[in-house]
């Protein structure tokens, strides 16, 4: 009760500061998660690489920090980086160190004992730093990606950068993983973005949901370039073609290479995502940092700051137009007390509680069916209304003039004074229907002031031919929602003062002026995972 915002199944350290996930991987059947960690404070600084392991990506065991700022090239912090599995099957870490002059340098670390599946001890290379920036970019040079081996037997890696005010993925090559040379041309850059952090570059299959190893090259794939844009604080991506002979990545036609209007992995509070290939189950898994919305003063009182998202599987949509994400299947091992509802009408202005579910720790899946006659009553969306977050911010979840908003009220108090709403609204625009997925947190807390921005995303769904599905994971102070089977995701933080622990409730609601049909609803309480 003294820590109502600690999570039950989302990864976090026992205490203190955590940010970016680093070097997630599977090695000898053990999953590893490293992360930016300050062992002495709930505030950013003194960055180490925290380290925890798991056999199921649910329950985690803590180990001593893997990397400590102890050498001239990283004395001011061991910053973010990635894991690469070398040709002999052992892992290597590329990471950014910050020296006493605040220059950012790329470094190498390897396991002291590769036979240890838990990889408790790491050794820094005597060749560090192995990549250095030019003088103009010494503070704009960080976060090396997972490296990949080209068909010529030479390693490649990208490093986040800003060059001439363009977001840039610098490309480096090496024959031995120790001596690296920058190529004449970056892998890719965009003049519609500034500094890129935490770049992630990986292949996806065009005809399968199975994941691929980073080095795979064959005709039936596309490549994804994800960047964390520090100016806008979003993770955006493009999908395109990688020319492995000339080492050039080109986004496909139609993809917007812009941090404000491009596709995002998540349209809420989500940053610094890192993916890895899970060779045990042939899937690609992605994890991201979710920071606090509260003030540093509150974080100090709590004694901790920062969460990681629940691990998601990620793949290319069959249409090839976007990525799809979904919570990994292991979450089902935490499920208890299923509640199932089928084929009910949710009348305009109504709410219905999902009872017998632990409202603070839950997994809810719901599917809505909207008859065409109801869709025809949708509001008209002006042709210049192209920013979904602006629409969600202006209207929220209480408007009642058309089809929606309808969805879920989570972390809700008994009398619904407090709640976080995850909802859909449907509009008409140019003879088509447009689906907005939103998150309204304006009433998420009566007692705390924090960032309560509403979030919104357009969902690539035709409500005439498809049902609208929503899945939401609730865990005390984090809400992760997946619309349209994972085509759009919104993550948010909430700090209720009434709807905490056993006093948290979940409602399905319809604040629109038209009835909607709930085709199916399944909800589960979730058990407490063993985390650190």
Please tell me the distance from the alpha carbon of residue 453 to that of residue 269, in angstroms, as a whole number.
10
When pLDDT is averaged across residues 393-415 and rounded to a whole number, the result is 91
Residues 6+ apart with CB under 8 A from 173: 154, 155, 156, 180, 181, 183
Can you tell me the mean pLDDT for 232-244?
97
Q: Does residue 30 belong to any structural domain of this protein?
A: no
Question: Above 90 in pLDDT, residue 258?
Answer: yes
Phi, psi of 390 (to 5 degrees): -60, -40
Residue 75 is assigned to a structural domain of this protein: yes
Query: Are 129 and 73 contacting, i.e. CB atoms less than 8 angstroms apart?
Result: yes
At 31 the pLDDT is 98
Average pLDDT over residues 395-420: 93
Residue-number span of the structural domain to which 493 is assigned: 337-526
Asked if 408 and 426 sit in the same domain, the reply is yes
What is the mean pLDDT of the segment spanning 342-348?
A: 95
| Per-residue model confidence (pLDDT) at position 393 | 87
321 in the same domain as 342: no
- Which pLDDT band, with edges at 50, 70 and 90, does 265 fall under? very high
Are residues 347 and 316 both part of a single domain? no
- Residue 431, pLDDT > 90, answer no
Whether residue 379 is contained in a domain is answered as yes
**316 and 341 housed in the same domain:** no
CATH of the domain at 385: 2.60.120.560
Cβ neighbors of 209 (< 8 A, separation 6 or more) are 283, 313, 315, 324
Average pLDDT over residues 129-138: 96
pLDDT of residue 385: 78
3-state SS of 303-318 is: CEECEECCCEEEEECC
At which of 304, 327, 350 does a domain end?
327
Beta partners for residue 95, in sequence order = 81, 107
Residue 394, pLDDT score: 85
What is the average per-residue pLDDT within 363-386? 92
Which of 274, 307, 327 lies at the terminal end of a domain, its last residue? 327
Residues 352 and 285 in one domain: no
Work out the percent of the chain whose per-residue pLDDT is above 90.
Answer: 96
Q: What is the pLDDT of residues 19-34, one digit of tens each?
A: 999 999 999 999 999 9
Question: For residue 531, is it within any domain?
Answer: no
Q: CB of 130 within 8 A of CB of 157?
A: no
pLDDT at 1: 59
When pLDDT is averaged across residues 173-185 and rounded to a whole number, the result is 98
Shared domain for 140 and 263, answered yes or no, is yes
Task: Tell me: do 122 and 261 sit in the same domain.
Answer: yes
Nearest residue to 188 via CA among 211, 163, 212: 163
Q: Which of 20, 247, 257, 363 is catalytic?
A: 20
Question: Which of 327, 357, 380 is the last residue in one of the domains?
Answer: 327
Are 125 and 107 a contacting pair, CB within 8 Å?
A: yes
Please state the domain count of the chain: 2
Residue 71 a catalytic site member: no
The reported pLDDT for the residue numbered 430 is: 86
157 and 65 part of one domain: yes
Q: Does 14 fall in a domain?
A: no
**pLDDT value at position 361?**
98
> Quick check: 352 pLDDT over 90?
yes
> Which residue carries 């690539």 as its tokens?
460
Residue 198 belongs to some domain of the structure: yes
69-95, pLDDT tens digit by residue?
Answer: 999 999 999 999 999 999 999 999 999
Please report whether residue 8 resides in a domain. Answer: no
Within this chain, do residues 437 and 314 fall inside the same structural domain, yes or no?
no
Please check whether residue 256 is in contact with residue 262, taking contact to mean a CB–CB distance below 8 angstroms.
yes
- DSSP, collapsed to helix, strand or coil, labels residue 73 as coil
**83 and 108 in one domain?**
yes
Residue-wise pLDDT for 478-521, tens only, equals 999 999 999 999 999 999 999 999 999 999 999 999 999 999 99
Mean pLDDT, the chain, integer: 96
Cα distance between residue 453 and residue 451, in whole Å: 6
């Amino acid at each position: 009760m003294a820590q109502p915002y600690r999570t039950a199944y989302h990864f976090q350290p026992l205490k203190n500061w955590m940010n970016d996930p680093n070097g997630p991987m599977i090695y000898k059947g053990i999953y590893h998660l490293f992360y930016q960690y300050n062992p002495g404070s709930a505030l950013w600084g003194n960055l180490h690489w925290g380290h925890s392991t798991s056999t199921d990506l649910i329950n985690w065991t803590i180990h001593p920090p893997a990397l400590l700022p102890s050498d001239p090239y990283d004395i001011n912090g061991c910053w973010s980086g990635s894991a690469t599995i070398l040709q002999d099957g052992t892992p290597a870490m590329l990471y950014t160190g910050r020296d006493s002059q605040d220059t950012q340098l790329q470094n190498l670390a390897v396991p002291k004992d590769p036979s240890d599946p838990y990889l408790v001890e790491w050794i820094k290379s005597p060749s560090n730093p192995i990549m250095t920036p030019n003088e103009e970019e010494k503070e704009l040079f960080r976060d090396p990606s997972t490296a990949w081996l080209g068909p010529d037997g030479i390693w490649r890696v990208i490093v986040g950068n800003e060059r001439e005010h363009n977001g840039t993925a610098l490309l480096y090559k090496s024959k031995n993983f120790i001596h690296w040379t920058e190529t004449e041309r970056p892998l890719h850059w965009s003049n519609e973005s500034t500094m890129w952090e935490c770049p992630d570059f990986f292949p996806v299959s065009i005809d399968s949901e199975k994941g691929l190893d980073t080095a795979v090259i064959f005709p039936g794939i596309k490549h994804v370039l994800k960047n964390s844009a520090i100016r806008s604080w979003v993770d955006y991506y493009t999908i395109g073609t990688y020319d492995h002979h000339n080492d050039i990545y080109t986004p496909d036609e139609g993809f917007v290479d812009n941090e404000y209007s491009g596709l995002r992995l998540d349209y809420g509070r989500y940053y610094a995502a890192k993916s890895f290939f899970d060779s045990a189950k042939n899937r690609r898994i992605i994890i991201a940092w979710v920071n606090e919305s509260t003030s540093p003063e509150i974080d100090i009182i709590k004694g901790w700051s920062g969460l990681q998202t629940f691990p998601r599987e990620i793949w290319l949509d069959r249409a090839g137009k976007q990525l799809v994400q979904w919570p990994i299947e292991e979450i089902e091992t935490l499920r208890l007390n299923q509640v199932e509802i089928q084929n009910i009408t949710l009348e305009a202005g109504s709410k219905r509680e999902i009872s017998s579910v632990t409202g603070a720790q839950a997994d809810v899946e719901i599917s809505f069916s909207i008859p065409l006659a109801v869709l025809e009553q949708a509001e008209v969306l002006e042709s210049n209304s192209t920013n979904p977050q602006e629409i969600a911010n202006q209207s929220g979840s209480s408007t009642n003039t058309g089809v929606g908003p309808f969805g879920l009220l989570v972390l809700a108090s008994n009398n619904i004074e407090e709640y976080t709403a995850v909802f859909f609204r449907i509009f008409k625009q140019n003879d088509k229907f447009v689906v907005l997925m939103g998150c309204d947190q304006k009433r998420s807390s009566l007692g705390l002031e924090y960032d309560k921005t509403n979030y919104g995303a357009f969902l690539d769904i035709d409500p005439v031919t498809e049902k609208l599905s929503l899945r939401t994971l609730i865990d005390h102070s984090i809400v992760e929602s997946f619309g349209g089977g994972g085509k759009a995701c919104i993550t948010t933080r909430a700090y209720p003062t009434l709807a905490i622990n056993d006093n948290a409730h979940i409602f399905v609601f319809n604040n629109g002026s038209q009835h909607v049909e709930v085709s199916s609803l399944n909800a589960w309480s979730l058990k407490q995972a063993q985390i650190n």
